[in-house]
Amino acid sequence: MKTRRMMLLGSSLWLFCVVTAVAQSDITNSAGTASAQYSDSPSGEGIAMVIDNQATTKYLTFHNAAWIQFQASSPYVVTRYAITSANDAAERDPLNWTLQGSTNGTSWANLNVQSNQDFPNRLQRREFTFTNSTAYSYYRLQMTNNSGTILQLAELELYGVPAGGTDVVTAYQHTNYGGTLGTLPVGSYTLAQLQARGIADNWISSIRVNAGYRVTLFENDNFGGASITKNADDANLVDDLWNDKTTSIRVESLSACGTFPDTWQEHWFEHNLNVAKVFNDCDVAIYYDNDMDRSITWIQQYVGDAWRYTKTLYGDMSGGTGDGRLFGIYHANKFGGGHPGYYFDAGHDNRNVIDLGQNGSWAQPTGWSLDATIHEIGHIVESTTHNGQGSPAFPIWGDSKWCVIYQYDVYVNVGWASEATRWYNQSNNDVWFRDWFYPIWRDRGQGAVLNKFLQLVSMYFPKNGKRYSRNMNWGEFVHFWSGAAGVNLKPQAATAFGWPAEREAQFNQARIDFPFTYPDAAQPIPSQTMTAEEARAIDESVTVWPNPTTSKKLGVEVKQAVKEVKVQVFNFAGEKVTETQLAGNTGHVTLEQFPKGTYLVVISFDGKKVNRKIQLD
């Protein structure tokens, strides 16, 4: 049998009862069924071998990408798993994978994503942890190998606890633990599930939380909207502006978090203070120096929410160690700025850390206090994601145009609507945001396209070990973003930044050196507006005729009162071939000198852009 790592999840004394949580176990040792995407395994190397508790046997398929699955006989909350490499052929080891969970075997949730993982030794067992509070009956591992056409692994272990169990949270209808109550064990609860346990919508006014657990209260059903997290009893949610505001709930154990030191001696740059921990949960620990006001608690919630969203999108940023925790250090009346530290940096004790100080007030979660906090997390993302170390694009985007779009994505998707609007308005005068990052983010999947860029960089850009061996040039930068967006972004880069001959040569070489592909035909970029209705109205106000054209002369009209109209034409390769300034809101562009083919026409007026693809016959 496998060695089961027993873990005490916590205990507390409440209402004269001792509450002890259930220990984790490998659920593949329980009743259930293992299955695989393909049934081409050789004799003796089928799917049963991956859960037989024997590292010397293995599962093998003649495919470079495949999934394997375990269906338990009852739901389990899994927060840890282990993979063991097989006996030979390291190129067949899993390189990238995603662990998924499902309640029905059809709809899947991503639980943990790993990229560019390495098994230096044969029969090597590697363990990974992640945050999860939902009980699933189906767990699936989607994998791709290192190279070749064969994928194999020796063992898969999934560690969790059965659904349900001991109640560890009690919700009350009134403040001071009064009125009707409802109790909850570890798990995730939609509104329907809460109602089944006697907890009504927008009903909770106080809450008790057993030691060793945390509860997150969500404003909307299905864990959406704003949220607030509690690690201890709170007799009055009115003080948090959270009275009668809960529609869904997530209850989690803190026992698998590892330990955070109570104090931490800084020893980097000009920082040499001993800071004290004021908060921690499974994801973040917050430390204050002696001058910080201990009554300031928004930092705990905001850093936690931002980091949890970030880990969901980009992975745990631990380099495969499974320790996806963030340490935040805050100083009052000193330093005047911030910096990050990384898990691979011994100078910051091998921890992902943000360290900030200012002479102003930390009292409110807005302005510099919030922006600097999220900005430093953005540096951790660009430097640690997908098992890479460093940021080869940093010399191009500096400190940091990347963080501007990362922050905007966090503000939007965590639900900080007013901060997102403020940040958009503040950033939209900068060409990097207005003409480059924001259109890519808006039109190509928001956070998903940001993550895809970092994935491609980790997969293709040269490294020494895990550390990137050199910086990007401009042509490579645009090529990798084009790969992430799924379309040639050279026309957009030319409009935003210019496109000298050096960048053209770099771009063409990058497409040879890093052979991922995307359509060469430039795709329209919608006008930069906040609503679809406004974008449609602006788009319909522009007429380009004739199309197709054989007259070598193209008419352009903007059916609005505008100050000036600029018309740029790009060829199929993304090169700007002409630019014309119209005298009014209508005019013509001469195309006589250009060969037949497809062209992209970009019409700019009053800070707006509309694109038209035309055919010159």
The pLDDT tens digits for 403-442 are 999 999 999 988 898 999 999 999 999 999 999 999 999 9
Per-residue pLDDT at 2 exceeds 70: no
**What are the tokens at 293?**
């006001």
Per-residue pLDDT at 301 exceeds 70: yes
Q: Can you give the pLDDT at residue 536?
A: 62
Confidence band for 206, pLDDT divided at 50, 70 and 90: very high
Q: Can you give the pLDDT at residue 322?
A: 66
Q: Can you give the pLDDT at residue 523?
A: 44
Within 13 Å and on the Cβ side, how many CA atoms surround 60?
19
Q: Can you give the pLDDT at residue 340?
A: 96
Confidence band for 258, pLDDT divided at 50, 70 and 90: low
Q: Can you give the pLDDT at residue 292?
A: 97
Q: Can you give the pLDDT at residue 571?
A: 66
Cα separation, 99 vs 143, in Å, equals 9
Per-residue pLDDT at 17 exceeds 60: no
| DSSP single-letter state for residue 176 | G
Per-residue pLDDT at 528 exceeds 80: no
Q: Can you give the pLDDT at residue 365?
A: 94
Confidence band for 4, pLDDT divided at 50, 70 and 90: very low
CATH, range 169-256: 2.60.20.10
Per-residue pLDDT at 606 exceeds 90: no
Per-residue pLDDT at 30 exceeds 80: no
* Three-state SS sequence of 86-112: CCCCHHHCEEEEEEEEECCCCCCEEEE
The pLDDT tens digits for 141-169 are 999 887 788 999 999 999 887 776 678 89
Q: Can you give the pLDDT at residue 26?
A: 85
Domain positions in the chain are 23-162, 169-256, 263-513, 532-616
Q: What is the average pLDDT across 213-218?
A: 86
Q: Can you give the pLDDT at residue 601?
A: 82
Q: Superfamily for 23-162?
A: Galactose-binding domain-like (2.60.120.260)
Cα separation, 264 vs 286, in Å, equals 11
* Average pLDDT of the residues of the chain: 85
570 three-state secondary structure: strand
Per-residue pLDDT at 377 exceeds 80: yes
492 three-state secondary structure: helix
**What are the tokens at 90?**
């390291």
Per-residue pLDDT at 52 exceeds 90: no
**What CATH topology corresponds to 532-616?**
Immunoglobulin-like (2.60.40)
Higher pLDDT, 552 or 142: 142
Nearest to 144 by CA among 82, 41, 42, 61: 61
Per-residue pLDDT at 250 exceeds 60: yes
Q: Is 263-513 a domain of CATH 1.10.390?
A: yes
> Are 250 and 216 within 8 A, CB to CB?
yes
Per-residue pLDDT at 256 exceeds 60: no
| DSSP single-letter state for residue 348 | G
User: What percent of the chain is predicted at pLDDT more than 70?
Assistant: 90
Per-residue pLDDT at 182 exceeds 50: yes
Q: Can you give the pLDDT at residue 575?
A: 64
Cα separation, 194 vs 223, in Å, equals 12
Confidence band for 338, pLDDT divided at 50, 70 and 90: very high
Per-residue pLDDT at 208 exceeds 70: yes
Q: Can you give the pLDDT at residue 534?
A: 63
Per-residue pLDDT at 6 exceeds 60: no
**What are the tokens at 332?**
């009052």
Q: Can you give the pLDDT at residue 585?
A: 84
Q: What is the average pLDDT across 319-339?
A: 88
Q: Can you give the pLDDT at residue 535?
A: 59
Q: Do domains 263-513 and 532-616 have the same CATH topology?
A: no
Q: Which residue has the tokens 């779009």?
A: 405
